[in-house]
Amino acid sequence: MSQVVYARVPDSLKDALDLYAEERGVTLTSAVVDLLERGLVAASDETSVADLETKLAIASAEKAQVEANLAGAQNELGTLRAFGQRSLQPIGVCPNRACGKPIRGFDLLAVGHCPQCQQPLTDLLAPRKPNSLNEREVGVLLGALGGALMAVGAAVFGSSR
């Protein structure tokens, strides 16, 4: 089944079509159909290529974002590991004068009491007594804890986007 298409074309295009048909030994109609079909495929492919290029650009941007999130999570993990190791170091002595055993950052910030005598350590976070922690030590510990918590927050909320 076929239909007729009337189209007025410039003389130069008509001459080129005649030459194309003559060179291939086909009718003018066959030449026009062949060239139109190829032109339509090429135009369709242009759209497909543009779509693929757009999708590739989006995928590349997403990959870069995932890589950045991974690098950030690895840094945060390193921070948490360092904090975990540092929290096991002795940072002072138990405020219970009868005990006086060393306490670790972990005991102060995570457990909240002396591992030997169960003396609560919350007073050490707001130094008031002469037996309390060195303020610099507390500052370092709290800074590390804050950094670790921010890292956890960034890892959890940052990578979910």
The footprint of Zn ion (CB under 5 A) covers: 94, 96, 99, 114, 116-117, 119
Q: C-alpha angle 42/48/53, rounded to 5°?
A: 125
Give 72 or 115: the residue with its C-beta nearer to Zn ion. Answer: 115
CB of 113 to Zn ion, least distance (A): 8
> Minimum distance from CB of 131 to Zn ion (Å)?
11
Q: How far is the CB of 101 from Zn ion (least distance, A)?
A: 5
By beta-carbon proximity to Zn ion, the closer residue of 119 and 132 is 119
The whole-angstrom separation of Cα 114 and Cα 121 is 7
Alpha-carbon gap, residue 160 to 81, rounded angstroms? 22
Q: Alpha helix (H) ranges present in 2-157?
A: 11-24, 28-86, 105-106, 135-153
Distance CA 15, CA 23 (A): 12
Please report how close the Cβ of residue 83 comes to Zn ion at its closest, in angstroms: 23
